[in-house]
Every structure is written in structure tokens, then in C-alpha cells.
Amino acid sequence: MKLFYKFSFLGLIAVTLIFPSLNIKAQEEENTTGFEFTYGADLVNRYVWRGCELAGKNNPQFQPSLNFNYSTENYGSFGFGIWSSFGLKKNYIEADYSLSYGISTDFGEFGIVVTDYYFPSNKLKFFNFKDKGEGAHTLEAAFSYVPTEVFPIKLLLANNILNDLPNDNSLYIEASYPFELATLSFNAFVGAAKGKSAYYGVNTEKFELINTGISVSRGVNFTDNFALQFGLDEVYNAHLKKNYIVFKISYYN
């Protein structure tokens, strides 16, 4: 299995380098329907997820992704995604699989995502779907809502539905707001976890702020068909009293 992920890693690099001119990103066109395929990759100096540093301290990560989406005219869009993270200094591998559905209505945009978090570096068999922290997979259900395009604040509610540790509570809520300033794109966010959870490093029964901060990014076009996005995240975990700065280079097509 470890060899499989190494080959997947090298294959995604090859796709990114050999086919930079491929562009079938249908969501860039308004009122489109049908099937679309996108791919991309991030390179980060450390892996910080919802205010928690994963993969060890200051371990740079390569994070490729593939996404398949089918959009309908009246019934929303359906998606399937694969996202991975590979440690460049330490032995860390994560592979996430997601199923999603989103729809725009007169009352805003609604979305639901079910994500399967799998960690090959834990050396558990892929088809081990045991519960109570003994399995190789952790399933999460997440719901999102964006009220209006004029004020596109995004509300997120997520909770694990399989393989939480006994007596753990992995409820997570977040509000984020994207905005543009000059040539830069920003996203301000605040997230909290409720109840004791090894998943989020929370050791109280209260809501604890674990993920507050802001992201800033800017795209740079090198040619008509090739561009990179450079980003910087400032993240503060108030519960753990830890601050993280994440630098990211991204390519998406």
C-alpha cells in the first residue's frame, strides 16, 4: 500500500508538469451543466488543519488532489474528491476521500460533504472499518451554508460519525468570510470545537476557540496557460495557545 501511494504521488507530479495547458474547469463558466474534472497540488511549509498542526512540527508537505464534479441545471451538483498529504521530512501520509452535494436556492447555498480520513502511515489495513478509534478510517459529515452572494459568509458544522475515540466529542463549527483587497484575496475565519476530543486537542467540555486567523493569497501568471498561487495563513489556536504561520504554493487546473 505504501508503494501504491508513492507511485500515485509521482504520477500526480507528472500530470502537473506535463499537462499545464489542460483546462476543463467548467465551473469558471456560468450556467454550465455536465461533468468536470480538476486537479492540483499544494506545497506547504507545515500542515495545519483547523488550528491543529499535523504530521509533526514544521514538517513540509506535498498535497495533491483530484476532483470530479457533475452539475445539473436544477438539482445542484455532485462531487467526488481525493486529497493527499505526503511528508517531505518525516514519514507521514494521509489520503482523504470525499462525496459532496451542493445546491443554490433563493435562501442561499447549501452543501453537505462526507469525508473519509485515512492515514496509511499508521500501518492499519485499508479495509479496517472498525469503530471507537480502532479502525483505519474516520468518517466525518459536514454541512455548510452561505446566505447571500452580497455577504458571502460561510457557516460550517462538522462532526465525526465513525471511529471517534470512546467518550470523545468531535463537533466543530466555523464561520469564514472571503473578500478582495487590491490584487489580494483574503479569507478571515474563526472555528471552535465542543467537548473533550483527542481529535482537536480539546480537554474541556466547553466550546473552545481552536482556529482563528486570516489567509491571504495572490495568483501569478507565468504564461497564458500556467499560473501559481502564493498564499500565507496566520492561524491562532486560543485553546492550546499556539500560533502558526503557513506558507503555501499552489497549482490548480
CATH number of 2-252: 2.40.160.40
Angle at 181 between CA 209 and CA 30, to 5 degrees: 95
Which stretches within the chain are classed as H helix? Answer: 2-18
CB-CB contact of 118 with 140 (8 Å):
no
At residue 7, does pLDDT exceed 90? Answer: no
- How much of the chain exceeds pLDDT 70, in percent? 87
Question: How is residue 4 written as a grid cell?
Answer: 501504491
Half-sphere exposure of 109 (CA within 13 A, CB side): 16
d(CA 105, CA 17): 39
The three-state secondary structure class of 23 is coil
Question: Using one digit for the tens of pLDDT, what is the confidence trace for 12-43?
Answer: 443 333 333 333 333 344 446 799 999 999 99
- The sign of the dihedral angle between the CA atoms of 49, 55, 58, 63 is negative
- pLDDT one-digit tens code per residue, 128-144: 999 988 999 999 999 99
Domain range summary for the chain, segments of one domain joined by +: 2-252
Measured distance CA(251)–CA(231) in Å, rounded: 11
Mean pLDDT of 119-125: 88
Transcribe 95-124 into DSSP letters.
EEEEEEEEEEETTEEEEEEEEEEE-GGG--
- Give 148-189 pLDDT, tens digit per residue: 888 899 999 999 999 988 888 899 999 999 999 999 999 999
* Coil vs helix vs strand at 57: coil
